[in-house]
Structure 1
Amino acid sequence: MRRLHSLGGLFGGLLVIFMATTGFVLSLQPLADAATTMAADSGVNVAALADRVAADLPGVERLVRSASGQLVAYTAENGVRSAVIVDPQTGAAAGAYAPSAFFSFITDLHRSFMLGNVGHGAAGVAALIILALAISGTLLLVGKVGGWRKLLAASRGTGSQRLHTDLARIGVAVLLLTSVTGAYMSAVNFALLPENAGAMFAFPPASAGDSVAPIASLEALAAIPLTDLRELTFPAMGDATDVFTVTTQAGQGYVDQGTGAMLSFTPSDAWQRAYEFIYLLHTGQGAPLVALLVGLGALSVPLLAVTGTIIWWMRRRNTPRFSGNVSWRDADTIILVGSEGGSSWGFAATLQDALRLQGQRVHVAAMNELRRSYPNASRLLVLAASYGDGAAPASARQFLARLERFASTPGFAVLGFGDQSFAQFCGFAARVDAALAAKGLSRLLPLGSVDRQSAGHFAAWGKGLGARLGLPLVLNHVAARPATRKLLLVERTLYGMEVQAPVVVLKFAAPQPRGGWFGPRLPHFEVGDLVGIVPPGGAAPRYYSLASASRDGVLEICVRKQTDGLCSEFLHSLVPGEAIDSFIRPNPDFRPKQGRRPLILIGAGAGVAPLAGFVRHNRHRRPVHLFFGGRDPASDFLYRDDLQTALDAGRLTSLNARFSRVMGGGYVQDLVSAEADTVRRLVQQGAQIMVCGGRDMANGVRGAIQDCLAPLGLSVDGLKQKGLYLEDAY
């Protein structure tokens, strides 16, 4: 489904954008018509108005009422033909009529690219591509959020992914409507579907007599409200046997100009009514609200194309390439990977190479790509990292939902990747292992685990797997060093020495490039993203939350010194002018929601860094309430001056701090409990809660918030599902 969606967008993108752009322009025409067209009184009938028009415009042949309600009389007098706009109230001429050359040109472009039938065919293909993109996009979105009931849940992912998702939610219904109606109209144009059932209207009969009555007295025309009229054709001048031909919403009939009787009437058939209704939905002609919705839906297409292309490119760039990766249909071994930062893919490549050396046919894919069945696979190996506090990583969020429809029964083994310092170490992998067993699959091995990307743990698990499979499986994994760039330290501020808990705030800048036209440039990042730093002599990177955005001109982090911490000791020893090797890992799931609703920020120690960054960037001065925990205000009140400046400037609404090593102190979770009434009030106003800091602190805060929410009948899990409770715990 994702491949269909991507290919349709990439190969049909320009065609679809062109159709959508011209469609948006055409959607403005009904709005312009509605603003300039004179409205008809509901009491005016066709007979009365036609009588006035005939008196005011000698030689009138036809009276046409457009979908917008505009009335145009076509006349022929002394060999000169003209078209005149008619006042629907008085029947008087209101000026010459000339269709808009601009809208006529855009209409030809939209319908056929001004290429005749070939262009009509291309327009029909574009409608089908939009239809395929709308359907596949909707199904992908449903799978991503976990079902139809969660279709309106908070969007997750990078900025492009969130924007793409939100645009799709807004525009998909309109895109489905316009694509289906456009394809239908194209099919009618090529006679693949009928516009009507055949010879729709009978041949006009002759008038019964030779007398001509005043038009206003003709009962059949007087019975038709002007608002129902489509077209009225007048009898030929001087021919008493000719008749009026009247077309309404209901059909076409012929009226005797002498007696005023309806000589015959043929109602529109189902095909004709369907076509007219579909034409209205597609163009919005005569329905300004429909036109507005169609226009907004069309306007979303170029934005969807741009964000979709960015997503495709990022996915392509970040998806590893596996040599010899056989089709899932032919593989005897399936390796599924759940990864957030990408490191688990490297372990999967090592496992694939080892199995291939033993003659196995191996297919590697993301856990999100679990198929309904694997016809030739006898084993399923799952390498699942845990994100945050036991959550599913990005490439595995759909796995458990997809597993419900899984129909194969291979033996399975699950290997979890995580950090043993977290309470939910390999928590997601444990849920996957239990779910596969509950599905009836047999375990090849008990749940395995790899702590902090340990090559030794991975090799030990591989040895056990090889013994179970009867293969001499050797997994010698060497982690690929991530691509890094050097950044220079430009400023450092040290806190916490008096309480024997050193914390340093470090600011880095890009080095001056050698030659070139551009000055030093930082990689792109936002507050709350992570910077990976590879310390000298270390292979695995350490991650730190960012307190700045790239537009600030510096990369800022806050680091607590850990005993025997290779990276933290290295960073604490840095002096301005020295460099680090670093790379950025986006963290889009830890960002404040847009809008004016309150924001509750809770952090302790170095965890306050990204929260201070959010406060610094609160330029629109939304209500922000910060709860901070430290040890001693005289020693480690981090960002004190910045926060006081933010309070004075209105970027921070309130600052509540608690320090554990002063008289009457406590922890930040105690502060949250003490301010329970305030927290409840803010949550009732739609506040979003963001927590950053150590794992123990985050667990304590979660419990305190849960107690605060209980009187409201709410829960932390409920807020999480709505994107109103975010954690970045370590």
Structure 2
Amino acid sequence: MFRKIHSIPGLAAALLVAVTAATGAVLSVQPALQRLEATVPARGEVTVAALAERVQAALPGVESIERKPSGLIVATWFDPDRPGMATIDPRTGAVTGAYEPSGTVRWITNLHRKLLADDTGRAVVGFGAAAMLLLTLSGTAMLAQRLGGWRRLFGPIRGSASGRLHAELGRAAVAGLVLSAATGLLLSATTFEFLPDGAPAEAAPAEASGGPALPVGELGALKAVDLADLRKLAFPDPGDPTDVVTLTTASGEATVDPATGAVLTAAENDAWQTASQWIYALHTGEGLWWLALVLGASSAVVPVLTGTGLVIWVARRRARPRIAHDAGAQSADTVILVGSEGNSTWGFAATLHAALTAAGHRVHTRAMNDVAVFRHARRVVVLTATYGDGEAPASARRFAERLARLPAAPAPAFAVLGFGDRGFAHYCGFAETVDAALAATGMARLLDLGRIDRQSAQAFSQWGADLGAALGIELALAHVPSRPRTSRLRLVAREDYGLAVDAPTAVLRFAPAEPGPSLHARLFGARLPSFEAGDLVGVLAPGSDVARFYSLASATRDGVLEICVRRHPGGLCSGFLNDLPVGGEIDAFVRANPGFRPAPGSAPVILVGAGTGIGPLAGFIRHNDHRRPMHLWFGARNPASDFLYRQDLDRWLAERRLTGLHTAFSRVATRTHVQDRLEADAETVRTLVAKGAQVMVCGGRDMAAGVAEVIGAALRPLGLTVEALKREGRYVEDVY
């Protein structure tokens, strides 16, 4: 719900919100500049009477004195020889310079308030303020939901580069944006009289007694008002003995007899008029120059939020296949829920959707995160991948909690199909969890849990036949996986390890292949895709459309794409890569892996890896430019044959990019594994975690399980668990 609330007004008002925020940011510096220009006496130092006397002596033709919210004193006079406006030193009454408001500032102000138009422009700007308020509140709610609740709103943020930037800036600016948008909306409402206009009270017309005027400095009503309370003082017409002095203060307006100094009429601001003054001050920052700068800084990030928001929206739209004939969620008889990490499961869902639609069903397909009560659905079919150690993929991470909150309703039948790789310990583990959760709700089972190994089109077709039989229809699912869009990369360097211990491993570095014949390639040349250390590269072996993924040990700015690959017996892709000669080429694509990156900040980082699991960890160390404490525990077979990155690690220790190196080797006399070394170093681990350290583990599943057990034992004296650290984002794994 929050995503729709957030995205629809964002897309509709993106340019308007960006323009009003940008102009507001420019105007925000004006109160500070005026405050620098103003001389502001302490309260009680200067009265309005004293100021008026001094100004009248310096400018005999003075008509009015105005105190700006910044404290700047501006006098307006009319004399046939010298008409104009001037700034005044309130302590002496001396003219300090001409007052000439900037034409550029006036233009920007008109653009900000009414888009250089009249009432239509004001109405559009009011809509923009409402959109900004809605975007800010819904975006904050989405972020809190994503981070696990309002208490974790200021916790570490993970995601793509544009997503992290969007969330970090939005979180930092939320208070300023809410204040700016809410006060702007109120001001717009008063402009169109949806609320009282809040104009200051005006005293009733009055006539002076007509006697000789006293010196202005002796008028009692003016002597009783401190300069800090003055808004405007208007002098009487010297040629009209019945004209009065008009005094406007923070609390209202009064007329004063220039012959006696007595107040003739007075009007006090009511509560709404007083509130309106505060609303205006809070929106503009006039009189609160420091607040103006805070609001300006918040507004300045809005154009960036607009840009990153559009990038996120476009990426989300591109990530899912277009599904034709998608029925409404509440009118469909069949609902397909999709759990996917890399979007390949959406392709299978689209094939199923098309087949069921062709068979006469009304079908609706959506992400598992968006599970709801589907009033007319007779069946729910879940297609889900499994991520990591039996965990939910990206589009299903909120499925369990949302399912648990659904109200009781007529339950449709269900079927679950899991996608995975039998080579993984938790093959289709999340699908099993979902199947059990749906059964626990009392829903009838349409089919037993199905499993698809390595995106097998044949297995998917067979499952489709079984589903069709359960529905009483013929269902032919002919799915052709779409080949991902790839880049052509050329191997420029390799380092081979592990031959002596029967574990052939290579560190491979790729650069863009030679530009192709396209115009774009000829103009711009070949480039590496954009990636960070810890992201994944999918490699397509010759003759295969199924990618194998490897963690990246480099970032785009390094100029090479670097991976560590161990040859696996019968491994199609690992064999291909280990045999690839320098100059050989591959087809590959990059997939972001934002969940496996060091958290922002300066807290220590504990890196644990074995074998090729050191790859992304080496990348994190290489880019540790701020020299935050990083400690690496690394396990291999023999230091003489497969100590990956040995020379680099020594150099990084000398450069203080790496703080501590702890190694374990299983094919030497001591025969220790990385978890054994961690157990021996439990006190060090405990100390680092107590200082806020994040733990990052990369390598095989058995190793990762052993590491989790050892670290869990080390944390018990602190009253912490690995599960608790995972919930805080302080224990992350990239295991295979």
**Is 1:562 aligned with 2:563?**
no
CA displacement, residues 308-361 of structure 1 (integer Å, 9 cap, x when unaligned): 111111112211012222222321000010100122112212322332233211
Which one-letter code corresponds to 2:284 in the other structure? T
1:618 aligns with 624
Task: Identify if the C-alpha distance between structure 1 residues 639 and 23 changes in structure 2 by more than 3 Å, giving closer, same or farther.
Answer: same
What is the CA–CA distance in structure 1 between the aligned matches of 2:289 and 2:128, rounded to whole Å?
24
1:679 aligns with 685
What are the ranges of 5 or more consecutive residues in structure 1 without an aligned counterpart?
none
TM-score by length of 2: 0.93
1:583 aligns with 589
Secondary structure, aligned partner of 1:40: coil
Report deviation, 1:302. Answer: 0.8
Task: Identify if the C-alpha distance between structure 1 residues 597 and 139 changes in structure 2 by more than 3 Å, giving closer, same or farther.
Answer: closer
What is the CA–CA distance in structure 1 between the aligned matches of 2:249 and 2:156, rounded to whole Å?
48
Report deviation, 1:39. Answer: 1.0
1:660-671 → structure 2 map (5 Å cutoff): 660-671=666-677
State whether residues 30 and 286 of structure 1, in contact with CA within 8 Å, keep that contact through their aligned partners in structure 2: yes
State whether residues 35 and 72 of structure 2, in contact with CA within 8 Å, keep that contact through their aligned partners in structure 1: no
Moved more, 204-213 or 46-55: 204-213
1:531-542 → structure 2 map (5 Å cutoff): 531-542=537-548
Moved more, 613-622 or 447-456: 447-456
Which one-letter code corresponds to 1:521 in the other structure? R
**Is 1:601 aligned with 2:607?**
yes
Moved more, 225-234 or 500-509: 500-509
Task: Identify if the C-alpha distance between structure 1 residues 150 and 593 changes in structure 2 by more than 3 Å, giving closer, same or farther.
Answer: closer
What is the CA–CA distance in structure 1 between the aligned matches of 2:635 and 2:440, rounded to whole Å?
43
1:264 aligns with 265
1:36 aligns with 37
Secondary structure, aligned partner of 2:328: coil
Which one-letter code corresponds to 1:151 in the other structure? L
Report deviation, 1:209. Answer: 6.4
| Structure 1 residue corresponding to 2:706, chosen from 679, 683, 700 | 700
**Is 1:8 aligned with 2:12?**
no
2:724 aligns with 718
Which one-letter code corresponds to 1:699 in the other structure? A
**Is 1:403 aligned with 2:409?**
no
What is the CA–CA distance in structure 2 between the aligned matches of 1:474 and 1:660, rounded to whole Å?
51
Which one-letter code corresponds to 2:110 in the other structure? D
Secondary structure, aligned partner of 1:517: helix
What is the CA–CA distance in structure 1 between the aligned matches of 2:243 and 2:440, rounded to whole Å?
82
Secondary structure, aligned partner of 1:247: strand
For these two proteins, the number of residue pairs brought into alignment is: 728
2:66 aligns with 64
Secondary structure, aligned partner of 1:180: helix
Report deviation, 1:30. Answer: 0.8
Report deviation, 1:651. Answer: 2.0
Task: Identify if the C-alpha distance between structure 1 residues 449 and 265 changes in structure 2 by more than 3 Å, giving closer, same or farther.
Answer: same
Task: Identify if the C-alpha distance between structure 1 residues 418 and 154 changes in structure 2 by more than 3 Å, giving closer, same or farther.
Answer: farther
What is the CA–CA distance in structure 1 between the aligned matches of 2:231 and 2:436, rounded to whole Å?
67
What is the CA–CA distance in structure 1 between the aligned matches of 2:512 and 2:96, rounded to whole Å?
69
1:300 aligns with 301
Which one-letter code corresponds to 2:571 in the other structure? G
1:392 aligns with 392
CA displacement, residues 555-574 of structure 1 (integer Å, 9 cap, x when unaligned): 22111121222222222222
What is the CA–CA distance in structure 2 between the aligned matches of 1:436 and 1:259, rounded to whole Å?
87
State whether residues 352 and 362 of structure 1, in contact with CA within 8 Å, keep that contact through their aligned partners in structure 2: yes
Report deviation, 1:384. Answer: 1.7
CA displacement, residues 107-141 of structure 1 (integer Å, 9 cap, x when unaligned): 12222232233332332232233233223323433
State whether residues 143 and 398 of structure 1, in contact with CA within 8 Å, keep that contact through their aligned partners in structure 2: no
What is the CA–CA distance in structure 2 between the aligned matches of 1:632 and 1:389, rounded to whole Å?
28
Secondary structure, aligned partner of 1:6: helix
1:353-372 → structure 2 map (5 Å cutoff): 353-371=354-372
1:689 aligns with 695
Task: Identify if the C-alpha distance between structure 1 residues 62 and 578 changes in structure 2 by more than 3 Å, giving closer, same or farther.
Answer: same
**Is 1:447 aligned with 2:449?**
yes
What is the CA–CA distance in structure 2 between the aligned matches of 1:116 and 1:349, rounded to whole Å?
50
CA displacement, residues 226-285 of structure 1 (integer Å, 9 cap, x when unaligned): 111111122332655433221111111122333333233211123322321111111111
Which one-letter code corresponds to 1:381 in the other structure? V
What is the CA–CA distance in structure 1 between the aligned matches of 2:358 and 2:57, rounded to whole Å?
96
Which one-letter code corresponds to 1:332 in the other structure? D
What is the CA–CA distance in structure 1 between the aligned matches of 2:559 and 2:26, rounded to whole Å?
41
Task: Identify if the C-alpha distance between structure 1 residues 506 and 78 changes in structure 2 by more than 3 Å, giving closer, same or farther.
Answer: closer
**Is 1:344 aligned with 2:345?**
yes
Report deviation, 1:507. Answer: 2.0
Which one-letter code corresponds to 2:474 in the other structure? P
State whether residues 196 and 270 of structure 1, in contact with CA within 8 Å, keep that contact through their aligned partners in structure 2: no
| Structure 2 residue corresponding to 1:128, chosen from 127, 130, 154 | 130
What is the CA–CA distance in structure 2 between the aligned matches of 1:314 and 1:106, rounded to whole Å?
34
Task: Identify if the C-alpha distance between structure 1 residues 302 and 345 changes in structure 2 by more than 3 Å, giving closer, same or farther.
Answer: same
State whether residues 153 and 721 of structure 1, in contact with CA within 8 Å, keep that contact through their aligned partners in structure 2: no
Which one-letter code corresponds to 2:589 in the other structure? F
Which one-letter code corresponds to 2:393 in the other structure? P
Report deviation, 1:669. Answer: 1.3
| Structure 2 residue corresponding to 1:177, chosen from 176, 179, 187 | 179
Report deviation, 1:703. Answer: 1.6
Report deviation, 1:404. Answer: 4.0
1:465 aligns with 467
| Structure 2 residue corresponding to 1:551, chosen from 542, 546, 557 | 557
1:22 aligns with 23
1:490 aligns with 492
CA displacement, residues 656-713 of structure 1 (integer Å, 9 cap, x when unaligned): 1111122223111121222222222222333222111001111111122222222222
| Structure 2 residue corresponding to 1:523, chosen from 515, 524, 529 | 529
What is the CA–CA distance in structure 2 between the aligned matches of 1:597 and 1:180, rounded to whole Å?
37
Report deviation, 1:602. Answer: 0.9
1:191 aligns with 193
What is the CA–CA distance in structure 1 between the aligned matches of 2:611 and 2:72, rounded to whole Å?
70
What is the CA–CA distance in structure 2 between the aligned matches of 1:326 and 1:509, rounded to whole Å?
46
2:85 aligns with 83
What is the CA–CA distance in structure 1 between the aligned matches of 2:106 and 2:351, rounded to whole Å?
62
1:213 aligns with 214
What is the CA–CA distance in structure 2 between the aligned matches of 1:404 and 1:295, rounded to whole Å?
43
Report deviation, 1:426. Answer: 2.9
Identity of aligned residues (%): 52
CA displacement, residues 272-301 of structure 1 (integer Å, 9 cap, x when unaligned): 223211111111111012201210111111
What are the ranges of 5 or more consecutive residues in structure 2 without an aligned counterpart?
none
CA displacement, residues 60-101 of structure 1 (integer Å, 9 cap, x when unaligned): 221111111111122223474322222222333323222233
What is the CA–CA distance in structure 2 between the aligned matches of 1:101 and 1:607, rounded to whole Å?
62
What is the CA–CA distance in structure 2 between the aligned matches of 1:289 and 1:716, rounded to whole Å?
44
Moved more, 512-521 or 595-604: 512-521
1:641 aligns with 647
What is the CA–CA distance in structure 2 between the aligned matches of 1:464 and 1:633, rounded to whole Å?
53
Moved more, 260-269 or 447-456: 447-456
Which one-letter code corresponds to 1:506 in the other structure? L
Secondary structure, aligned partner of 1:413: strand
State whether residues 77 and 84 of structure 2, in contact with CA within 8 Å, keep that contact through their aligned partners in structure 1: yes
TM-score by length of 1: 0.94
Secondary structure, aligned partner of 2:606: strand
| Structure 1 residue corresponding to 2:508, chosen from 506, 509, 517 | 506
Q: CA RMSD in A?
A: 2.4
State whether residues 219 and 258 of structure 2, in contact with CA within 8 Å, keep that contact through their aligned partners in structure 1: yes
Which one-letter code corresponds to 1:579 in the other structure? E
Secondary structure, aligned partner of 2:238: coil
Secondary structure, aligned partner of 1:602: strand
Secondary structure, aligned partner of 2:83: strand
What is the CA–CA distance in structure 2 between the aligned matches of 1:517 and 1:228, rounded to whole Å?
66
State whether residues 207 and 257 of structure 1, in contact with CA within 8 Å, keep that contact through their aligned partners in structure 2: yes
Secondary structure, aligned partner of 1:266: strand
Which one-letter code corresponds to 2:490 in the other structure? L
